[in-house]
Chains A and B, each alone.
Chain A
Amino acid sequence: MLHGIENVVASPADNPARSDHKTQPQKLSSLFGTLGMLPVLALVAIGFHLLSGGRFFSGQNISIVFQQASVNTVLAAGMTFVILTGGIDLSVGSILAAAAMAGLIVSNVPELSYLWIFAALFVGVGFGVANGVLIAGMRLPPFIVTLGSLTAVRGIARLMGGDTTIFNAEIPYAVIGNGSLPIIPGIFSVPWLAIVALTVILVSWFVLKRTVLGTHIYSVGGNEAAARLSGIKVPFIYLIVYGISGLLSGLAAIMLATRLYAANGLQLGQAYELDAIAAVILGGTSFVGGIGSIWGTLIGALIIAVLSNGLVLIGVSDIWQYVIKGLVIIGAVALDHFRQKGSART
């Protein structure tokens, strides 16, 4: 049925009455694109609830799920900007580690300790923009550039702490990582981590859907040549999206550092880029760019968090968790492929 759309397009007829034939499948497929994974999320959650003997949907567990999803949601939001332009950012986990190290080092300097979050954000943006300069300015492939910075920035993160773990039990703003906002006191509270993540999603939504920049990001991802000819400064867009990804890696570093009161250049954020990419793709953002939504990314991140949480809850071994999560990512790419066939692009 989805193939039929293209055929209609190629047909000679173009009066509006006939066009109506195409709207329904198109609507269905776009519905599938944005909402498609929400039922999956619900099913997975309900499934775990039943399998775990009713332990999944408890106020405490839900707030744990939110907490677990929050860091990945923030990284995945940045990744959504990048993937919407048809790029990829493999370095978010390493940038997170470097930003957290920088933050903790500053937080241990007595006079500057309150400025540590700015240090973390600054380091995040710095590395993100460096990626962007290489990609936009020198026209190097994003995969290669960020693969390089994945390794290089990891090394820098280790260098920063002399390859040790840095602690700060009195780290300012520790409430971000550990506090909660009580909704129904004693029964249900929302962790500040989740509130930060939701705020990031809302701001991202606004930027993508309600600003000129957002439209230009979709344009560059949809058809770079056309964007160039339309007077859009394409290199600037690339610079911005990698900068945003770096900034959000810095924010994720703040979230993790306040949670742990510590940072370690070697282990922090290891392989986080994979979960972030998985969340974006699960959320329906096309790998070639131009199609996708930030709400999908939120759902994707929640699915991954629910999977991790639920598998632990029902006592699946650590090893099998890897296998199952991997299969979910492959399934997501299969979905992406299916969606591509349904899109108007030929």
Chain B
Amino acid sequence: MQPILEMSNVSKTFVGVKALTDVKLTLYPGEVHALMGENGAGKSTLMKVLSGAYRPDPGARILIDGQPVSITDPISSKAAGVSIIYQELSLSPNLTVAQNMYLGRELHSYGIVNRDRMLKDVESILGRLGAQFTGSTIVGTLSIANRQLVEIARALHAQCRILVMDEPTTALSSRETEGLFSMIRQLRSEGMAIVYISHRMDEVYELSDRVSVLRDGHYVGTLDHQQISPDAIVRMMVGRELSSLYTKVHTPDFSRAKLILDVRDLSDGTRFRNCSLKLHAGEVVGLAGLVGAGRSELAQTIYGFRPRTTGTMTLNGSDFNPRSPQNSLDRGLAYLTEDRRDNGLFLDMSCRDNTNTAVLKRDARWGFVLNRRKAEQRAHNAIKELSVRVPGSAYPVGGLSGGNQQKVLLSRWLEIEPRVLILDEPTRGVDIGAKSEIYKIIDTLAQKGVAILVISSELPEIIGIADRIIVMREGAITGEVGGRTGIKPTQENIMTLATGAAAPAVA
């Protein structure tokens, strides 16, 4: 069978940095091809070359149906039959489904839009996809899953033959994910070639016919369906065994560890209810659950960022009623947000300012004049201790890679010398090297006696670093694994609690 797409010798250089080196990718019609690699491995860059957003370095060969094509801009890419569905969907929420599908190429006569024909045309595609909405539905009223469906419909409508999906399940519930998968299988059976980018091993395992792996901008290899196994893929992505990634040197003493944070029957009235948990000095507790289970909301309520309706908390033995993050920080409880770009960092400001945000007042002379020497010293030490790769402390944090940004944000909370540290997805969007460094930092903090609560959606990670794992489902704590529970902290046991299947058995 002739490949529908052959990319070879694709390199891309940015101001002296090689993001891609001689990468190749071959795609056959009617296959789901997973593209895997750590963040920064070059997946997005490769897809941006395919979509015409980037121009590859000279020498790249892109063949479609065996014919060389030159993709110079998004329009020529579309004309070649390529459609990309990005994580951040590119729909106008204020327009109807039909208007979105025809965006930029509306049917019109002499500038008058022919609404009726557009509506009629899109119905057949929506019907084929089994959509529950019509062409005249306003996109803003649809769920994320249905908006993805609109994107797929738009791609089909544009006669697309190569569909790229970039982490499409990030914002979907498990039922919606199932729906998406059956849609992808249907498209595959119709002869569409699908490039599927995901970090979730189980999805890739379930869905893909072949897997190609990139690492540090290089092509590592392609696995056929029968060769695909999580171990094989991780080995190719990381270039080493999985087990060496996690660090757990600290050993919590479950019987004698001091109780630091005690949360009882906390509810916020909407997203979670009656949640109780205890954190002891020197332990790392995982908080697992599906996206939307209310983990971040619980953490933010403990932090005093969201109001609570019921519940009591004690911190270090005395009552703890934070009404704002400032209260929590004063008591030594810090929260690392899951969304460092939107809720964490001041991207235009220097690493120094970002590190010192929470201690500015404490260090200031007379309470208001900045102590710049102290700030510089703190930033300098933080950069050294967390090995942040940055030209200098005055460098704007927005110019750093995800891993280094995360370390700077982490340093902000370490400066207050927390007793309790809540880390919400601490390694999201972080490359593998920085990940293992962050695990080491967490471990060191636990050795020093900090009580740490880690929220993570990556089960291997949470199993690898946490001493015991609390699981949430739909706003309630459904159980605990590891530690003294006697239940093994396995992915199966956690998923059982997270999805509400039968309770796991004591091993």
Q: Which residues does A use to contact B, with CB under 8 Å?
A: 4-5, 7-16, 18-23, 26, 210-216, 218-219, 222-223, 225-233, 290-291, 343-346
Q: Give the tally of cross-chain contacts (CB within 8 A).
A: 154
A218–B360 Cα gap in the complex (Å)? 13
The answer to whether A222 and B347 touch (CB under 8 A), given A23-B391, A212-B360, is: yes
Indicate whether B325 reaches chain A with its CB closer than 8 angstroms.
yes
Indicate whether B40 reaches chain A with its CB closer than 8 angstroms.
yes
Q: Which of B370, B390, B404 contacts A215 (CB 8 A)?
A: B370
Q: Which one of B41-49, B67-75, B204-212 is at the interface?
A: B41-49
Ordered by A's residue number, 15 sampled pairs between the chains whose C-beta atoms are within 8 Å are A12-B401, A13-B40, A14-B40, A14-B401, A14-B404, A18-B16, A18-B17, A22-B15, A22-B399, A212-B368, A218-B349, A222-B346, A226-B344, A229-B337, A230-B357
Contacts of B120 in A (CB 8 A): none
| CB interface residues, B 395-421, toward A, < 8 Å | 395-401, 403-404, 412
CB nearest to B344 among chain A residues: A226
Q: How far is the CB of A323 from chain B (nearest CB, A)?
A: 34
The 5 closest A-B pairs by CB, nearest first: A344-B398, A12-B40, A231-B326, A14-B401, A222-B346
A231–B416 Cα gap in the complex (Å)? 12
Contacts of B54 in A (CB 8 A): 7
Contacts of B367 in A (CB 8 A): 212
CB nearest to A26 among chain B residues: B399
Q: How far is the CB of A23 from chain B (nearest CB, A)?
A: 6
Indicate whether B364 reaches chain A with its CB closer than 8 angstroms.
yes
**Could you tell me if A211 and B335 are in contact, using CB atoms closer than 8 angstroms?**
no
* Interface SS of chain A: helix
Q: How far is the CB of B242 from chain A (nearest CB, A)?
A: 20
The answer to whether A229 and B305 touch (CB under 8 A), given A12-B41, A344-B348, is: yes
| CB interface residues, B 303-318, toward A, < 8 Å | 303, 305
Contacts of B397 in A (CB 8 A): 344
**Could you tell me if A343 and B325 are in contact, using CB atoms closer than 8 angstroms?**
no
Contacts of A16 in B (CB 8 A): 389-391
Q: Which of A10, A21, A210 contacts B16 (CB 8 A)?
A: A21
Q: Which of A5, A21, A222, A233 contacts B348 (CB 8 A)?
A: A222
**Could you tell me if B398 and A20 are in contact, using CB atoms closer than 8 angstroms?**
no
Q: Which of B40, B305, B346 contacts A228 (CB 8 A)?
A: B305
**Could you tell me if B400 and A14 are in contact, using CB atoms closer than 8 angstroms?**
yes
| CB interface residues, B 252-288, toward A, < 8 Å | none
**Could you tell me if B389 and A15 are in contact, using CB atoms closer than 8 angstroms?**
yes
| CB interface residues, B 300-350, toward A, < 8 Å | 303, 305, 324-326, 328-329, 335, 337, 342-349
Contacts of B347 in A (CB 8 A): 222-223, 344-345
Q: Which of B17, B324, B346, B403 contacts A226 (CB 8 A)?
A: B346
Contacts of B391 in A (CB 8 A): 16, 19-20, 23
Q: Which residues does B use to contact A, with CB under 8 Å?
A: 14-19, 40-42, 44-45, 54, 216-217, 303, 305, 324-326, 328-329, 335, 337, 342-349, 353, 357-358, 360-361, 364, 367-370, 372, 389-391, 395-401, 403-404, 412, 431
**Could you tell me if A7 and B396 are in contact, using CB atoms closer than 8 angstroms?**
no
Contacts of B344 in A (CB 8 A): 223, 226, 229
Residue picked from A15, A225, A346, most chain B C-beta under 10 Å: A225
**Could you tell me if A7 and B349 are in contact, using CB atoms closer than 8 angstroms?**
no
Residue picked from B335, B395, B399, most chain A C-beta under 10 Å: B399
Q: Which of A14, A23, A210, A218 contacts B389 (CB 8 A)?
A: A14
**Could you tell me if B396 and A26 are in contact, using CB atoms closer than 8 angstroms?**
yes
Contacts of B216 in A (CB 8 A): 12
Q: How far is the CB of A231 from chain B (nearest CB, A)?
A: 4
Q: How far is the CB of B46 from chain A (nearest CB, A)?
A: 12
Contacts of B370 in A (CB 8 A): 210-212, 214-215
CB nearest to A222 among chain B residues: B346
Contacts of B412 in A (CB 8 A): 230
**Could you tell me if A9 and B401 are in contact, using CB atoms closer than 8 angstroms?**
yes
The answer to whether A226 and B343 touch (CB under 8 A), given A231-B358, A343-B398, is: yes
CB nearest to A213 among chain B residues: B368
Additional 10 contacts, C-beta under 8 A, given A10-B19, A212-B370, A229-B325: A8-B17, A10-B45, A11-B17, A11-B19, A12-B41, A21-B16, A26-B396, A210-B369, A290-B349, A344-B398
Q: How far is the CB of A294 from chain B (nearest CB, A)?
A: 16
Q: How far is the CB of B216 from chain A (nearest CB, A)?
A: 6
Contacts of B329 in A (CB 8 A): 231
Contacts of B403 in A (CB 8 A): 14
Contacts of B353 in A (CB 8 A): 215, 218-219
A16–B351 Cα gap in the complex (Å)? 14
A219–B360 Cα gap in the complex (Å)? 12
The answer to whether A223 and B369 touch (CB under 8 A), given A20-B391, A212-B361, is: no
Q: How far is the CB of B305 from chain A (nearest CB, A)?
A: 6
A228–B328 Cα gap in the complex (Å)? 12
Q: Which of A211, A218, A228, A229 contacts B364 (CB 8 A)?
A: A211
A15–B367 Cα gap in the complex (Å)? 38
Q: How far is the CB of A198 from chain B (nearest CB, A)?
A: 21
Q: How far is the CB of A283 from chain B (nearest CB, A)?
A: 16
Q: How far is the CB of A202 from chain B (nearest CB, A)?
A: 15
The answer to whether A211 and B368 touch (CB under 8 A), given A26-B396, A231-B358, is: yes
Q: How far is the CB of B172 from chain A (nearest CB, A)?
A: 24
Q: How far is the CB of A6 from chain B (nearest CB, A)?
A: 9
**Could you tell me if A219 and B431 are in contact, using CB atoms closer than 8 angstroms?**
no
Q: How far is the CB of A145 from chain B (nearest CB, A)?
A: 24
**Could you tell me if A8 and B398 are in contact, using CB atoms closer than 8 angstroms?**
no
Contacts of B324 in A (CB 8 A): 231, 233
Contacts of A214 in B (CB 8 A): 370
A229–B335 Cα gap in the complex (Å)? 8
